[in-house]
Structure 1
Amino acid sequence: MRYMLKKWSTDMLAIFETHAGAEKAGRICQGLGFENSFRVDAVGQSGGLWLLWRHGIGDAEVLHSAEQLIHVRVKKEADVVHIIVVYEAPSVSRRSGLWMQLRDLIQMVNEPVIIGGDFNTIVRVDERTGSNGQLSPDSLEFGNWINDTMLIDMGFKGNCFTWKRGKDERFFVAKRLDRILCCAQARLKWQDATVTHLPFLASDHSALYLQLVPPVTGNARRRPFRFEAAWMSHTSFRELLSASWDPNIDTRKALAKLEKVLRKWNKEIFGDIKTRKEKLVKEIQEVQDELERHSSDALLQLEANLIKEFDVVL
């Protein structure tokens, strides 16, 4: 989770099926580095829905919450958006009344609305592997709900599926259970907004990454120098620090001299780790793209091996 938050800068984060509550949930939220959070804690080992956000997004007010949703209104200067995060229960009977509840919430709002999360169902037959050409009544009801509320699917980049199960080809199944929808007002306001299905790394669900205003890539060479906490774990770091510090010159000059040494050392030692991380994420994404086209035991085993190697590098 920390790697994903570092690689994909995030101002608001929704986490589903947390299986944690009370004090443990609070410690985890605080450890992820967000100043604010609202939780619908798990009941025993079932469910759990958290919404975390940073101060910089503006004023966030939680308007409504229930076992399967959190509704928050975010205002920053003249911009306002309603965010509704949803975790639909896997059981059809448990989520039977949720469509009506969400419909009422959306119809009460006359400002931009974005709603997303794990809906635990599909709307088209091509949103699952091994399609038999038929949709379940629950999927049809979900499609009708989207039409009735006049919501727009924001689309996506990346893998077609957001959930998968099975390590062998004969048992492998994948579906697009997670999505982000919005009202017409929000789509017109943020016409360049993108949704990306991130690689499967530590969960059977892919994380969905929404950027309302995709940033323009800056110049990496102008990135300021930062001390990396991971350096402390390397056996040669303290010796390097002692050998490189010059006590005979002004502190400011000594720091500048040390910075050059650490930049070079970081590139030679830790730069390799960062390169391996990026390479592994790329390889995992390529394998998962290939699995989307056709599954095989060899590909599934390769994916498992790459993810295991990625965990070791982290």
Structure 2
Amino acid sequence: METRLDREGFKYWCSDLPYPNRLIVKHPNTGGGLALIWKKDVKMDLINYTVHHFLVRVVEEDGFVWFLTCFYGWSEYNSQAKSWALLNHLRSFVEGSWSCISDFNAILSSSEKLSRQPTQSRIMDDFREALELNNLADLGYQGYPFTWNNKGPGEANMKERLDQAVATGDWRDEFSLTTVTHLSSHASDHLPIILQT
């Protein structure tokens, strides 16, 4: 998940959560960062990380092995190629089924945006191409269609579905009952999303 909390903030605000395992990395010189929290009984090994991702290997109780990437894409349009280069690079570490849950900071189609400012088709094409190149497909969602709101007034308001979960076909076959739900948020400009397998 994207977070503004550092390790001390997590310790203070999230100590009551039933997730004793935590990875937290802060983006230098900004308020943002990434956090991954999980239950004690989940077998998960960190492969690598940067301020833009965590890549972990998960082993299910039945021995099924899959890879999870928590991803935070570059938000500036002129830097988004870095997001797709990182995604392509991460694929080289994945041996088998793969799922990414992410703030990609990009949309797949114009229907994922509500704004007076249209998104350039090249940006959407680049995102679709990066997913296709890595055999990743959108897992869909339940709930409100937009996960980010700039909270601008009137015509300056912009809403987009920037946060998504995607996966390879073999991952989707293994977890065929998966749901992705957009939850509500009162404080953040992003809605949290939950991936349930």
* 3-state secondary structure, aligned to 2:105: coil
- Identity rate of aligned residues, in percent? 26
| Pair 1:43–1:71, CA change in 2 (3 A) | same
**SS of equivalent to 1:142:** helix
Mapping of residues 44-123 of structure 1, within 5 Å = 44-57=29-42, 59-77=43-61, 78-123=63-108
- Which of the residues 120, 140, 144 maps onto 1:159? 144
Bigger radius of gyration: 1
In structure 2, the CA distance between the partners of 1:132 and 1:50, relative to structure 1 (3 Å rule), is closer
Letter in 1 for 2:59: K
With over 3 angstroms needed to count, the CA separation of the structure-2 counterparts of 1:132 and 1:171, relative to structure 1, is closer
1:125–1:135 Cα contact (<8 Å) kept = no
Matched, 1:124 2:113: no
Q: For each residue in 1:110-168, what CA deviation from the matched residue of structure 2 results, as whole angstroms up to 9, or x when unmatched?
A: 32111011011111011111367663433221111111112111001111111112353
Residue of structure 2 equivalent to 1:185: 170
Deviates more, 1:72-81 or 1:174-183: 72-81
Q: Matches of residues 212-291 of structure 1 in structure 2 within 5 Å?
A: 212=197
- Give me the whole-angstrom Cα distance separating, in 1, the residues matched to 2:154 and 2:116: 15
Change (3 A) 1:199 1:46: closer
The structure with the largest helix share of the pair is 1
SS of 2:99's partner is strand
Which deviates the most, 153-162 or 87-96? Answer: 87-96
Judge conservation of contact 1:73–1:83 (CA < 8 Å) in 2: yes
**Which letter does structure 2 place at the counterpart of 1:30?**
S
Counterpart-to-counterpart distance in 2, 1:193 and 1:31: 27
SS of aligned partner of 1:51: strand
- Comparing 133-142 with 108-117, greater Cα deviation is found at 133-142
Q: After superposition, what is the alpha-carbon deviation per residue over 1:235-276, rounded to whole angstroms, capped at 9, x for unaligned?
A: xxxxxxxxxxxxxxxxxxxxxxxxxxxxxxxxxxxxxxxxxx
Q: Which runs of 5+ in 2 are unaligned?
A: none
Structure 1 residue 22: Cα displacement: 5.0
Change (3 A) 1:134 1:49: closer
Under a length normalisation based on structure 1, what TM-score does the superposition of the two structures give?
Answer: 0.57
Cα distance in 2 between the residues matched to 1:148 and 1:131? 31
What secondary structure is seen at the aligned counterpart in 2 of 1:147? helix
> 1:30-63 deviations in whole A, cap 9, x for unaligned?
3544211111123133431111111122x21000
For 1:165, give the aligned amino acid: N
Larger relative contact order (C-alpha < 8 A, sep ≥ 6)?
Answer: 2
SS in 1 for 2:114: coil
Aligned residues: 196
SS in 2 for 1:104: helix
Amino acid paired to 2:181: T
Secondary structure of 2:49's partner?
Answer: strand
Deviates more, 1:203-212 or 1:72-81: 72-81
2 CA distance for matches of 1:163 and 1:97? Answer: 21
CA-based RMSD of the aligned residues comes to: 2.2
Contact 1:121 1:138 in 2 (8 A): yes
Structure 2 Cα separation of the partners of residues 27 and 42 of structure 1: 20
User: Would you say 1:147 and 2:136 are equivalent positions?
Assistant: no
SS in 2 for 1:143: helix
Q: TM-score, normalization: structure 2?
A: 0.88
Partner amino acid, structure 1, of 2:104? F
Q: Which amino acid aligns with 2:45?
A: E
Structure 1 unaligned runs (5+)? 1-14, 213-314
